[in-house]
Copies of this chain bind each other. A is one copy, B any other.
């Protein structure tokens, strides 16, 4: 029998979140699992890393599964760095992040701690996938995601991923029988229209809560938003070369140096 793949599991909702507990149990059916996850929720942390503060890591036992687990005081990206550089004895064959409680589709990829972990692993040359369920509730039902996540993971292990690319998988919050399949998509060019909820604290000082609504003017049927709205699981290949290569030629017409 071939050696089991070594799988690093991360998330941003914290190591006790039902989403990562489901992901761990799925990964236990596929490979040897090591978990390095934040000790507290780290949502919307983007690609933050801890450079001016200390990091604590603790070996923990949370359930009776065969995985090895570490709880970490840092961000999702810190967890990947610690996992790869300090905890694991060899480079993992795969890194999976999630299952996030809530969508990371469209422009949300840029704020997502879940996806920053996948991207950080990708930067280390490790095939990586972020999984998110379109349900923000702590008690979301993840059961219907199991077979799909297993299929996507096994395909990724078998086929590998192109250099510089990780996968952003979002799963609709509908029953398993209503999921129509899996679609490869581009990120919809949608955005948030923020509003700030201005309040006064008990001392009379103004403060704000960030609120907002998601608006999607991008009606393309090749987008993740379209797929999710039509009960497909969306997979967007995500790159971390941020260069707008097409724009280089245009900017060279600017003649800065005259």
Which residues from chain A sit less than 8 Å from chain B, CB to CB?
A: 41, 43-52, 54-57, 77-78, 81-82, 85-86, 107, 109-111, 116, 119, 123-124, 151-152, 155, 159, 162, 164-165, 181-182, 184-187, 189, 191, 194-196, 198, 201, 205-210, 222, 235-248, 250-252, 254, 256-257
Contacts and interface: CB of A to CB of B under 8 A. Distances in A.
Nearest to A182: B256
Contacts of A116: 46
A188 to B, nearest CB: 10
A64 to B, nearest CB: 26
A245 B164 CA distance: 12
B162 A244 contact: yes
B82 A152 contact: no
Contacts of A77: 46, 111
Contact of A55 (B162, B209, B257): B209
A56 B184 CA distance: 41
Contacts of A47: 46-47, 110-111
What copy number does this chain have within its complex?
Answer: 2
Nearest to A113: B48
A189 B241 contact: yes
Contacts of A57: 206, 208
A211 B45 CA distance: 20
Nearest to A252: B184
A145 B145 CA distance: 53
Contacts of A110: 47, 119, 123, 240, 242
B49 A46 contact: yes
A44 B54 contact: no
B248 A238 contact: no
B248 A55 contact: no
B210 A235 contact: no
